[in-house]
Structure formats: structure tokens, C-alpha cells
């Protein structure tokens, strides 16, 4: 009669799938243990609070942000920092909506703020940031996306981390609303990602300084020539440029910036397509850093890992998606056809004949081990990000089960786009 | 400037740790899979005793047949046949994951058991006739498009007809067991799947309604299942 084994198929095929799974398990386990091992490291003591307040420039590039710009500007208004030491520059990057009017309205309302307003034709975010960089008078330069809100203590928490060799300091970023499924997933993702960034920062491997409130040393920014205006992901390019000059990028988790994440799957895929394509293109641009001992762990381990993890996520998508979920499902549906959809009887006989030995234990135990380590990572992430796991079961579950598949699909599209030189649609 | 270095020591320690943890997980899994063999052997030895008991009963029935003892005989035969069938399924499935010699021997044992039960059942029908239908099912795990479906359908039928249906299944490609070849020749087997319902041979896939009708046509007192639809 019919064999009921959870992973079935003919022998050579099964062996291949198992081999792929085992290799994937090993690599994943290695990477998780590697980064967890950084936790054991003796860390530098917390820096002392700053005594003098240096001048800081906050530059907000805005493109079609009529709904968010006022909220972002007023969140800066609440920053706990001497007003005289703050220079705020808003750059309207040729918005097609009422962003300009919104900015002007806000400036009029808050005259004492001396908000500087630059109007430019639509040239992209990098150009807008460079325009801001040109007029900056601050010792520190902050980029701030127009859809973020800033914690009051942000600057006071960040600035103490600047010492001689530090080029940029990054705050913890969290997703502002959890109103849609996609935002829930990203909320779960961000908490883990920023803990991860903190760990990779300990080994000087941070490869992206995101738009929401990354603080740079102005002199370094000017030295390296500002942002690359033709770049798909200027925030990634600038980070690699800083790393290439061997300045430090520090990730801290003690202050939080809230950002609006894409609400729909479509918007999310569009954003990630740009990010991942940008990271591949910039890795090509900075290929001399890849596998280069001169760049330490960043060059020999972290940057190649970006590509490896991309390949891994595609493999995961194919192996789990097709061979572990779709194929057995198709077989089961086929079985149902055979018995004329008498599901009840079929299920009965399946249950009656089920034995503990049916499960393929070799990958199962490894899967459990991997799950335990991932869970430890998750636990640490939430502890460091000061979020409760209990209260966020839904975002975490959605993140764990849906995110890997979505990311896999996005990577497939990215490689396809790059291979066929498709132009980026904004 | 950042002093960059490659954390070779960290990599080595992590590689060592990962390998150890990985191997522990793998060995744990493999050791459980090893136990499958024990589990299958347990069933084999239990059914051997069952068979001996049945043989003894058959001898007894030959001399002193009563309705009461016939009933219990048929019951035991049916239930131990089902044990074998289930175990046979398992060993078929496990051999797809690994072609260990242990499995092949166990499989041979089960094939023999199926044949023994089939013969015993045939013999006992003269002294203890029972209103059951027997099906011989020849399948193959390789190059047989419809065997999976036919197997599912037979399992389903067994679930429906319970002890009124006896299914004896044989792997037609299992050349390690000469007895199977004898059966194949006996039944003029040309393709898989092939069903022999009572004495009538059906080559190729038999679908649900057809199979049900065939099975039902042999009952003197048709069970509930045959009356519906």
C-alpha cells in the first residue's frame, strides 16, 4: 500500500535535498554562533555624557511627503538639545504634491526655529543631501528621512560616541505603526536587524547608514565627497565609503527613531528590490574590498556573506517552498482525488498508521538545534531592543514564517533584474 | 583609524563549536533512525509468533472446526496481516531514504509473511469459510506511475471494509525473494500495478468506484459500505 513518510521521493533526489538542507543548516548555525560569540567580547565602557554642545546640522530631504513632513519637523522641535546649536535644513526635492506648502506653513508657524529651506528640481535623495551638506555649519551632520519621528534624547545619546576615529553613529530604528501585516513583519524584522547591526558593528562591519537619523562627522563627509548622486542606495554607498577610509561606524541601541515602513506587500517588495539591488551593485562597485584582508572581517567575512545569504535565501525558498511544502501538498491533493475526497477516512488511516519513526530525524534534530539558537538570538534582540516578546507574538510569528519566503522571492527578482540589466523603477 | 583584523581565532573557535553541535544533532538523528530497524524487527518477531499460533490453530481446526473457533481464527489472521501490511509500508518508505541491508532483509521477511498468510487463508477457507474478499496487490517502488495512487486507494478501502477485506501486497520488483517470482508467474503479471480481486486479474490502475463495485460483488452479505451511494 502507500508509504507515509514526511519527506518522500526517490532516493537520489531525497539525498540531494537532504544534502542541501544539511549544508544550509551548517552555514546558518555557523553564522548565528559567530555573531553570538561577539556578545561575549569585552565591550568598551559607556561613554560619558557630553559637556559642551557642538553645532549639529539636521538635513531632511523630502520627496512627496506632504503627509509626514510636519510630524517629522515637530519631532525635531522636541529634541532635547540647545536650539542655538541646531541647524535644520529641509530640502524639497521637486515634490509633485503639497510638500512645499506644508514645509512653508511649518516654517511660518515656527519662525524662531530658523529652519532653512532649499528648493531643488527632482534630482534624488543623494543630491538633496549633498545640497544640505554644502550649506552645513554643524560639526555633525544628521540625515533624517521625512517620515520619521525622533526620540527626545537622540542627540544626547548619540554624540558621546564620537571620538577621533568614529565617522558615524546610528540609533536604533523601529517601525512606527503595526497596522498592516507587512508592517507587523517589518516591525519584527527591525528589532532583530538592529541587534544584529550592533553585533556586526563590534567587528566594524556595518555596511549601511540608514536615512533615519544617522549622525556623521561633517568633516569626514566633506572629505569623502558626500553622497554618490547616481547611486541606487546612497545610504549603503556612503557607509562603504566611510568603511573604506577606515573610519568607525557605531550602532547604538539606547535611543530610538521611529520610521514609517511600507504598508503593503507591493511597496515592501519595491523598497527591498531597490535595497538589495543597490547592495549588489555597490558590492560590485567596491569589489576590491571583497575577500581583501586589508578590510579585516568586513572584507573577508561580512561582505561576501551578503551574497552568500542571498543565495541561501533563494535556496531556502526553492527547497522548502517546492520540495517540502508544495510537492508533498500536490501529492496529498492527488491522493485526495484518488479516494474521491473522502478526507475523513483518509485522515483516519493516516493517523492509525502513523509511527514516531516516520519522521526523518537526521535533519529534524539539526532543525531543532538551529531553532534554539535562532530563538536565543531573537531573545537577545528583544532584550537589547527593550521590546517584549510576549506582547508581540503576532509580528514575530509573521516575521519567522513569511519573511524568509518574501525575501527569497525578492532576491530572485533582484538577480533576474541585474542579469537582464533592467532599470530601476522608482 | 580603525585597526582592522581578520578574527581568525574567532572563526576557528566558532567552526569547532559549530561542527561539534552539528555532529551531535546529526548523530542524535541518525541514532533514532537506527531504532527504526529495531522497531521493524520487533514487529517481525511478533508476527512470527502470531503465525505459529495461527498454524497451530489451523491444525486444530482441521480436526475440530467449530464456528466459534473459526471466528477467532479469522480475526487473528486479519489483524496480524494488517500488522504486516503496515510494517511493510514503513519498510518500503524507509528504504527510499536509505538502502540499508537491514531493511532489505526485513522486507524479505515481510514479503514471506504476506505469502504465508495468503496461503494459510486459502487453506482455511475450506474448513472455515468467511465472508471476506481477498486482493493480491502487485506494486513497485520504481517506475510505477500509478502505484502510489493505487496504494492510497487500497489503504482507503481497507479503512472502509476493515476485517472484511484482506489485502496481500507484493513488491513485484523485489527479486531478492524467489517466492514472489513464483507468484508473478502464477498470475501472468505483465505490468504494475496489478490487482487480483479474488481470482480476477486487473492490470493497471483500478479507480475507486470500479474497485468498490468489484469488491462488493463478492460478498454474500454485503457490508454497509456497499449499500451507500
Tell me the pLDDT tens digit for each residue of A375-426: 999 999 999 999 998 889 988 998 888 888 899 999 999 998 888 876 554 4
Of residues B26 and B229, more confidently modeled: B26
Q: What is the pLDDT of residue A18?
A: 77
Q: Give the phi and the psi of residue A161 in degrees, each rounded to 5.
A: -80, -10
CA of A128, closest CA in chain B: separation in Å? 29
**With an 8 Å Cβ cutoff, is B153 touching chain A?**
yes
Banded pLDDT at A9 (limits 50, 70, 90) = very low
Find where cell 579585516 sits. Answer: A296
A240 has pLDDT over 50: yes
Residue B6 to residue A30, Cβ atoms within 8 A? no
Tell me the pLDDT tens digit for each residue of A62-93: 999 999 999 999 988 889 999 899 999 999 99
A6 has pLDDT over 60: no
Cell of residue A246, nine digits = 577606515
Find where cell 529652519 sits. Answer: A115
Return all residues near A174 (Cβ < 8 A) that are at least 6 apart.
Answer: A187, A190, A191, A256, A257, A258, A259, A385
Are A56 and A132 in contact by the 8 Å Cβ rule? The answer is: no
Which chain A residues have a beta carbon less than 8 Å from that of B97? Answer: 5, 7, 11, 14, 360
Q: Which CATH number fits domain A56-184+206-262: 2.40.110.20, 3.40.50.2300, 3.90.550.10, 3.40.50.300?
A: 3.90.550.10
Q: What is the pLDDT of residue A90?
A: 94
Which chain A residues have a beta carbon less than 8 Å from that of B208? Answer: 338-340
Segment among A347-351, A394-398, B4-8, B134-138 with least mean pLDDT: A347-351
Which chain B residues have a beta carbon less than 8 Å from that of A293? Answer: 6
**With an 8 Å Cβ cutoff, is B5 touching chain A?**
yes
Q: What is the pLDDT of residue A422?
A: 64
CA–CA separation, B92 vs A4, rounded Å?
Answer: 9
Helix, strand, coil percentages for chain A (3-state, nearest 5): 60, 10, 30
Q: For residue A253, is it left (φ>0), alpha (ψ between -120 and 50) or beta?
A: alpha
CA–CA separation, B32 vs B84, rounded Å?
Answer: 22
Residue B13 to residue A165, Cβ atoms within 8 A? no
Tell the burial category of B76 from Cβ atoms under 10 Å away from its Cβ (0-12, 13-18, 19+).
Answer: middle
Residue B96 to residue A342, Cβ atoms within 8 A? no
Of residues A149 and B45, more confidently modeled: A149
A284 has pLDDT over 70: yes
If you average pLDDT over residues A303-332, what whole number do you get?
A: 84
The percent of residues above 70 in pLDDT, for chain B, comes to 96
This prediction's pTM = 0.80
- Between positions 17 and 36 of B, the ones with CB within 8 A of A are 17-18, 21-22, 24-26, 28-30, 32-33, 35-36
Q: What is the pLDDT of residue A8?
A: 43
- CA dihedral (B204, B208, B211, B217) in degrees, to 10, reads -160
ipTM: 0.84
Q: What is the pLDDT of residue A45?
A: 79
Tell me the pLDDT tens digit for each residue of B111-141: 888 888 888 888 888 888 888 899 999 988 7
Q: Which residues pair with residue A172 across a beta bridge? A: A256
Tell the burial category of A94 from Cβ atoms under 10 Å away from its Cβ (0-12, 13-18, 19+).
Answer: middle
Find where cell 494488517 sits. Answer: B82
Tell me the pLDDT tens digit for each residue of B71-120: 888 888 888 888 888 888 877 777 766 667 777 888 888 888 888 888 88
Q: Kindly report the average pLDDT of chain A as a whole number.
A: 88
Q: Which residue of A has its CA nearest to B142?
A: A10
Residue A370: strand, helix, or coil: helix
Nearest by CB: B159 against A22, A348, A366: A348
A263 has pLDDT over 60: yes
Are B99 and A13 in contact by the 8 Å Cβ rule? The answer is: no
A373 has pLDDT over 60: yes
Tell me the pLDDT tens digit for each residue of B23-60: 998 888 888 877 877 887 887 788 788 888 878 877 87
Residue B93 to residue A355, Cβ atoms within 8 A? no
**With an 8 Å Cβ cutoff, is B12 touching chain A?**
no
Cell of residue A196, nine digits = 544584529
**With an 8 Å Cβ cutoff, is B15 touching chain A?**
yes
DSSP symbols for A108-150: HHTGGG--EEEEE-S--HHHHHHHHHHT---SEEEE--TTEEE
Tell me the pLDDT tens digit for each residue of A195-208: 999 999 999 999 99
Q: What is the pLDDT of residue A329?
A: 82
Q: For residue B104, is it left (φ>0), alpha (ψ between -120 and 50) or beta?
A: alpha
If you average pLDDT over residues A245-262, what whole number do you get?
A: 94
CA–CA separation, A77 vs A219, rounded Å?
Answer: 25
Taking the domains of chain A in order of start, what are their residue ranges? 56-184+206-262
Are A134 and A126 in contact by the 8 Å Cβ rule? The answer is: no
Distances (CA, A) of B53 to B12, B85, B114: 62, 19, 16
Residue B22 to residue A366, Cβ atoms within 8 A? yes
A7 has pLDDT over 50: no
Return all residues near B75 (Cβ < 8 A) that are at least 6 apart.
Answer: B163
**With an 8 Å Cβ cutoff, is A8 touching chain B?**
yes
**With an 8 Å Cβ cutoff, is B16 touching chain A?**
no
Of residues A82 and A316, more confidently modeled: A82
**With an 8 Å Cβ cutoff, is A66 touching chain B?**
no
Banded pLDDT at A5 (limits 50, 70, 90) = very low
If you average pLDDT over residues B182-210, what whole number do you get?
A: 89
- Between positions 58 and 117 of B, the ones with CB within 8 A of A are 85-86, 88-90, 92-94, 96-99
The percent of residues above 70 in pLDDT, for chain A, comes to 93
**With an 8 Å Cβ cutoff, is B193 touching chain A?**
no
Residue A2 to residue B94, Cβ atoms within 8 A? no
Whole-number CA gyration radius for chain A: 25
If you average pLDDT over residues A153-173, what whole number do you get?
A: 94
Q: Which residue of A has its CA nearest to B11?
A: A34
Tell me the pLDDT tens digit for each residue of A87-109: 999 999 999 999 999 999 999 98
Banded pLDDT at B65 (limits 50, 70, 90) = low
Cell of residue A60, nine digits = 531632511
- Closest C-alpha among B201, B199, B132 to residue B164: B132
A20 has pLDDT over 70: yes
CA–CA separation, A346 vs A159, rounded Å?
Answer: 66
Residue B14 to residue A345, Cβ atoms within 8 A? no
Q: What is the pLDDT of residue A268?
A: 95
CA–CA separation, B6 vs A411, rounded Å?
Answer: 28
Q: How many CB atoms lie within 10 A of CB A184?
A: 22
CA–CA separation, B213 vs B200, rounded Å?
Answer: 13
Segment among A53-67, A160-174, A343-357 with least mean pLDDT: A343-357
Tell me the pLDDT tens digit for each residue of B140-163: 877 888 888 888 888 888 888 888
Amino acid at each position: 500500500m502507500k508509504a507515509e513518510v514526511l519527506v518522500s521521493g526517490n532516493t537520489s533526489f531525497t539525498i540531494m535535498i537532504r544534502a542541501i538542507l544539511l549544508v544550509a543548516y551548517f552555514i546558518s548555525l555557523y553564522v548565528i554562533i559567530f555573531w553570538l560569540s561577539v556578545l561575549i567580547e569585552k565591550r568598551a565602557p559607556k561613554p560619558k555624557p557630553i559637556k559642551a554642545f557642538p553645532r549639529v546640522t539636521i538635513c531632511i530631504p523630502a520627496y512627496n511627503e506632504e503627509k509626514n513632513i510636519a510630524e517629522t519637523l515637530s519631532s525635531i522641535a522636541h529634541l532635547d538639545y540647545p536650539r542655538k546649536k541646531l541647524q535644520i535644513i529641509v530640502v524639497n526635492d521637486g515634490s509633485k504634491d503639497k510638500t512645499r506648502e506644508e514645509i512653508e506653513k511649518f516654517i511660518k508657524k515656527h519662525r524662531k526655529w530658523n529652519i532653512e529651506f532649499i528648493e531643488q528640481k527632482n534630482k534624488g535623495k543623494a543630491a538633496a543631501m549633498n545640497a544640505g551638506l554644502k550649506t552645513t555649519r554643524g560639526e555633525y551632520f544628521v540625515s533624517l528621512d521625512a517620515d520619521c519621528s525622533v526620540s527626545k534624547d537622540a542627540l544626547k545619546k548619540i554624540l558621546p560616541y564620537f571620538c577621533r576615529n568614529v565617522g558615524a553613529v546610528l540609533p536604533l530604528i523601529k517601525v512606527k505603526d503595526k497596522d498592516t501585516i507587512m508592517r507587523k513583519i517589518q516591525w519584527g524584522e527591525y528589532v532583530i536587524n538592529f541587534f544584529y547591526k550592533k553585533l556586526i558593528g563590534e567587528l566594524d562591519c556595518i555596511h549601511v547608514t540608514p536615512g533615519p537619523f544617522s549622525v556623521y562627522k561633517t568633516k569626514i563627509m566633506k572629505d569623502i565627497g558626500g553622497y554618490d548622486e547616481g547611486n541606487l542606495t546612497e545610504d549603503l554607498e556612503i557607509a562603504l565609503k566611510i568603511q573604506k577610509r577606515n573610519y568607525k561606524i557605531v550602532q547604538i541601541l539606547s535611543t530610538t527613531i521611529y520610521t514609517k515602513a511600507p504598508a503593503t506587500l507591493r511597496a515592501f517588495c519595491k523598497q527591498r528590490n531597490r535595497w538589495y539591488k543597490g547592495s549588489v551593485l555597490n558590492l560590485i562597485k567596491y569589489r576590491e574590498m571583497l575577500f581583501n584582508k586589508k578590510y579585516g572581517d568586513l572584507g573577508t567575512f561580512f561582505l561576501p556573506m551578503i551574497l552568500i545569504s542571498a543565495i541561501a535565501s533563494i535556496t531556502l525558498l526553492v527547497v522548502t517552498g517546492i520540495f517540502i511544502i508544495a510537492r508533498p501538498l500536490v501529492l496529498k491533493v492527488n491522493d485526495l482525488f484518488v479516494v474521491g475526497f473522502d478526507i475523513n477516512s483518509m485522515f483516519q488511516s493516516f493517523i492509525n498508521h502513523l509511527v514516531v519513526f516516520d519522521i526523518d530525524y537526521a535533519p529534524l534534530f539539526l532543525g531543532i538545534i538551529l531553532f534554539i539558537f535562532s530563538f536565543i538570538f531573537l531573545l537577545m534582540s528583544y532584550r537589547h531592543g527593550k521590546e517584549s516578546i510576549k506582547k508581540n507574538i503576532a509580528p514575530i510569528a509573521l516575521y519567522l514564517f513569511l519573511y524568509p519566503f518574501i525575501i527569497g522571492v525578492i532576491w530572485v527578482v533582484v538577480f533576474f533584474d541585474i542579469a537582464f540589466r533592467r532599470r530601476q523603477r522608482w | 583609524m580603525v585597526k582592522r583584523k581578520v578574527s581568525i581565532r574567532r572563526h576557528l573557535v566558532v567552526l569547532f563549536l559549530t561542527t561539534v553541535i552539528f555532529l551531535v544533532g546529526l548523530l542524535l538523528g541518525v541514532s533514532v533512525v537506527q531504532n527504526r530497524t529495531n522497531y521493524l524487527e520487533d514487529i517481525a518477531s511478533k508476527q512470527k509468533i502470531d503465525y505459529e499460533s495461527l498454524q497451530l490453530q489451523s491444525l486444530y481446526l482441521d480436526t475440530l472446526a467449530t464456528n466459534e473457533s473459526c471466528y477467532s481464527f479469522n480475526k487473528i489472521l486479519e489483524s496480524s496481516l494488517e500488522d504486516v501490511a503496515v510494517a511493510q509500508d514503513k519498510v518500503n518508505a524507509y528504504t527510499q531514504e536509505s538502502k540499508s541491508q537491514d531493511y532489505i532483509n526485513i522486507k524479505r521477511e515481510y514479503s514471506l509473511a504476506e505469502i504465508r498468510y495468503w496461503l494459510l487463508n486459502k487453506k482455511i477457507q475450506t474448513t472455515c469459510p468467511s465472508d471476506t474478499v481477498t486482493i493480491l496487490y502487485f506494486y513497485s517502488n520504481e517506475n510505477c506511475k500509478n502505484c502510489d495512487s493505487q496504494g492510497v486507494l487500497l489503504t482507503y478501502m481497507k479503512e472502509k471494509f476493515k476485517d472484511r477485506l484482506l489485502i496481500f501486497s507484493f513488491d513485484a520488483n523485489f527479486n531478492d525473494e524467489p517466492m514472489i517470482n513464483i507468484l508473478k508467474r502464477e498470475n501472468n503479471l505483465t505490468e504494475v500495478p496489478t490487482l487480483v480481486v479474488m481470482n480476477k486479474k486487473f492490470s493497471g490502475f483500478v479507480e475507486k468506484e470500479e474497485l468498490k463495485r468489484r469488491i462488493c460483488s463478492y460478498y454474500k452479505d454485503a457490508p454497509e459500505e456497499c449499500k451507500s451511494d
